[in-house]
């Protein structure tokens, strides 16, 4: 049983008082409460057993870090699309506490690391099917807009925490101009895509392996959903921060997604509908923006939040970024900036998987 660390005694009291008050109605056994997992944010997840078997999940999301109302609202949208998400059984919004149904204990990441080629293909196809249902059935008009300002704010995390804090660099005027050209190119590419409901973190750590009859995959961590570029979530799935694939498999899954998206009408009246190459380029560029952001986030977790383990995946993220920036002439300014930070990666590459 994973012990619970309570850095703030007051938080422990708030959570346990709430849980004990729910115990009888929900059939809970509060004495079994233990850590399920923590993530890169201020949220964490606890598991508690039920009388007679089974378990529930407690989401502990201190309200000073933001309301979890979006989790409830977006979860309802996903469920309306026929997707498998945790059911909200109780929501104490003022205390930042939710009681949720439990989607199990096997994340996609763990399953894929151990899977045969055939099993990995089955799991990824399930994930692609779920993504198509979300993009085609969700109401993007009810979500925040992933606009130019939003994209640039995310890119600035790379500058502040990876370039500045991790490597101690301060760009000169020429380098700053290279960065601005990169940002402008990425913004143009992302805003030119069809805009759809976007999970924004559709990666294998946020997918759970569930029985087919329940609806595989289970989907988590969707509270930051936005209206944004159609290729972004697929880029998140294919080029994950914690597991990598050879490009042949990336292309196979991307083509399967593209064919399904065309059939679903998601690419109608856009060049992507007739040109997979254009879609693939957009996917690579959206993935690049994401990887630059995550490089900054992982460095921030290391330096600000005392979570150095995330920095172990920095080489994977640099390898993704170098791979894309060296493939497109428009991104050559970024290649120069990345070489300045991690020049050896342009020669040695990165061993995938």
Instruction: Provide the strand spans (E) within 111-217.
Output: 195-198, 207-208
Q: What is the pLDDT of residue 344?
A: 47
Let me know: does 186 contact 328? Beta carbons within 8 Å. Answer: no
Note the Cα 298 to chain centre separation in Å: 13
Q: What is the pLDDT of residue 1?
A: 58
Q: What is the pLDDT of residue 308?
A: 94
| Structure token pair of residue 148 | 């130019």
Q: What is the pLDDT of residue 9?
A: 87
- CA dist 238 and 261 (Å) reads 16
DSSP secondary structure string for all residues of 208-223 = E---TTT-SSEE---T
What would the pLDDT profile of 203-260 be if each residue is shown by its tens digit? 999 999 999 999 999 999 999 999 999 999 999 999 999 999 999 999 999 999 999 9
Q: What is the pLDDT of residue 350?
A: 37
- CA dist 75 and 77 (Å) reads 5
* Average pLDDT, 10 consecutive residues per value, the chain (353 residues): 78 96 97 83 89 95 88 97 97 96 96 97 98 97 98 98 96 98 98 98 97 95 97 98 96 98 96 97 98 98 94 95 97 96 51 33
Let me know: does 166 contact 292? Beta carbons within 8 Å. Answer: no
Q: Which residue has the tokens 């609202």?
A: 73
Contacts of 100 by beta carbon, 8 Å cutoff, 6+ apart: 56, 57, 58, 59, 86, 87, 88, 89
Ramachandran category for residue 167: left, alpha or beta (phi over 0 → left; psi -120 to 50 → alpha): alpha
């Amino acid at each position: 049983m994973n012990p619970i660390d309570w850095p703030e005694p007051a938080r422990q009291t708030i959570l346990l008082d709430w849980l004990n008050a729910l115990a009888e109605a929900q059939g809970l056994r509060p004495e079994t409460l233990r850590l399920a997992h923590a993530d890169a944010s201020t949220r964490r997840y606890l598991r508690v057993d039920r009388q007679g078997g089974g378990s529930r999940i407690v989401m502990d999301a201190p309200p000073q870090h933001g309301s979890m109302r979006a989790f409830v609202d977006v979860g309802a949208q996903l469920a309306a699309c026929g997707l498998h998400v945790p059911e909200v059984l109780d929501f104490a919004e003022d205390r930042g506490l939710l009681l949720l149904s439990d989607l199990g204990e096997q994340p996609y990441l763990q399953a894929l690391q151990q899977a045969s080629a055939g099993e990995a293909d089955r799991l990824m196809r399930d994930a692609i099917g779920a993504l198509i249902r979300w993009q085609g059935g969700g109401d993007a008009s009810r979500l925040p807009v992933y606009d130019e300002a939003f994209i640039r704010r995310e890119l600035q995390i790379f500058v502040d925490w990876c370039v500045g804090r991790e490597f101690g660099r301060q760009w000169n005027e020429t380098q700053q101009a290279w960065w601005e050209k990169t940002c402008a190119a990425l913004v143009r590419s992302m805003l030119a895509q069809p805009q759809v409901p976007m999970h924004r973190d559709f990666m294998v750590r946020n997918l759970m392996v569930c029985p087919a009859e329940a609806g595989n995959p289970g989907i988590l961590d969707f509270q930051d959903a936005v209206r944004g570029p159609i290729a972004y979530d697929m880029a998140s799935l294919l080029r994950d921060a914690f597991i990598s694939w050879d490009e042949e498999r990336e292309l196979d899954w991307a083509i399967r997604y593209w064919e399904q998206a065309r059939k679903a009408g998601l690419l109608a009246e856009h060049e992507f509908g007739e040109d997979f190459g254009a879609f693939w380029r957009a996917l690579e560029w959206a993935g690049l923006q994401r990887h630059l952001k995550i490089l900054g986030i992982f460095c921030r977790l290391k330096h600000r939040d005392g979570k150095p383990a995330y920095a172990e995946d920095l080489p994977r993220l640099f390898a993704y970024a170098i791979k894309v920036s060296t493939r497109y002439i428009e991104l050559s300014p970024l290649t120069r900036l990345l070489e300045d930070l991690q020049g050896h990666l342009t020669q040695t590459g990165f061993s995938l998987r």
